[in-house]
Amino acid sequence: MDINVVNSLTYEDFVQIFGSVVEKCPLISAAVWSRRPFRDLADIETHITEFIHNLPDSGKEGILRCHPDLAGRDLQSGTLTRESQEEQSQAGMDTLDSTEILHMYRLNAQYKERFGFPFVICARLNKKAEILHQLSERLTNDRAAERERAIEEVKKICSLRLRNIVRCDIQTKL
């Protein structure tokens, strides 16, 4: 997407287009809109990242709580956001057998009980075996370390979603 087009978007259009780059947190895109004009897409990403970084721990945990469980109820029932559905499918989370689903359910429950927010990993950069491994391994982290690790994963997800928006826009124009 041409940066001039991005900079000329109305508040409503900007939030509609960029509102899902952080899962179920259009408020972040709404806040970043006021930082226009942007130099390029990387500048938008920097503003989003800075916004997240400057949140108190409770705000960061709020962002994490907006994420669905991997291979959880929302995937099984088809109620994930379009972006999460695509990401979980690419990682193979929709192909788990009943044993793997039960194992994932148990690990997700342990994780949420320990940390108070769902396990977040950039599914597009991982496959189901690595996701299961990371979920088990990260259960040993302390809360502060895990919150920061999960936020870093949110930033990866955001970065890829931003690139996907641009790619979709370019393909639409061709």
Query: Which among 68, 139, 137, 132 is positioned nearest to 103, based on CA atoms?
Result: 132
Which helix H or strand E contains 159, and what residues bound it?
helix 143-173
pLDDT of residue 174: 41
CATH number for the domain harbouring residue 155: 1.10.3330.10
Are 52 and 92 in the same domain?
no
Are 155 and 76 in the same domain?
yes
**pTM confidence score:** 0.92
For residue 145, give its domain range: 68-173
Note if 53 is an active site residue. no
Are 111 and 141 in the same domain?
yes
Work out how many domains the chain is built from and give that number.
Answer: 2
Are 16 and 40 in the same domain?
yes
Are 82 and 139 in the same domain?
yes
Are 96 and 157 in the same domain?
yes
Are 76 and 146 in the same domain?
yes
Are 155 and 80 in the same domain?
yes
Are 81 and 137 in the same domain?
yes
pLDDT of residue 50: 98
Q: Given 62, 84, 105, which residue is the final one in a domain?
A: 62
In Å, how far are 5, 41, 159 from 167, measured between CA atoms? Answer: 14, 12, 12
Tokens 């895990």 correspond to what residue? 146
Are 81 and 7 in the same domain?
no
Q: What is the mean pLDDT of residues 4-19?
A: 95
Of the listed 47, 53, 67, 103, which one is catalytic? 67
∠ CA 166-19-67, nearest 5°, is 110
Q: What is the mean pLDDT of residues 115-127?
A: 97
Q: Given 22, 39, 62, which residue is the final one in a domain?
A: 62
Are 47 and 84 in the same domain?
no
pLDDT of residue 173: 46
Are 31 and 92 in the same domain?
no
pLDDT digit string, tens, across residues 24-61? 999 999 999 999 999 998 999 999 999 999 999 999 99
pLDDT digit string, tens, across residues 81-109? 999 999 999 999 999 999 999 999 999 99
Q: Given 34, 62, 90, which residue is the final one in a domain?
A: 62
pLDDT digit string, tens, across residues 136-163? 999 999 999 999 999 999 999 999 999 9
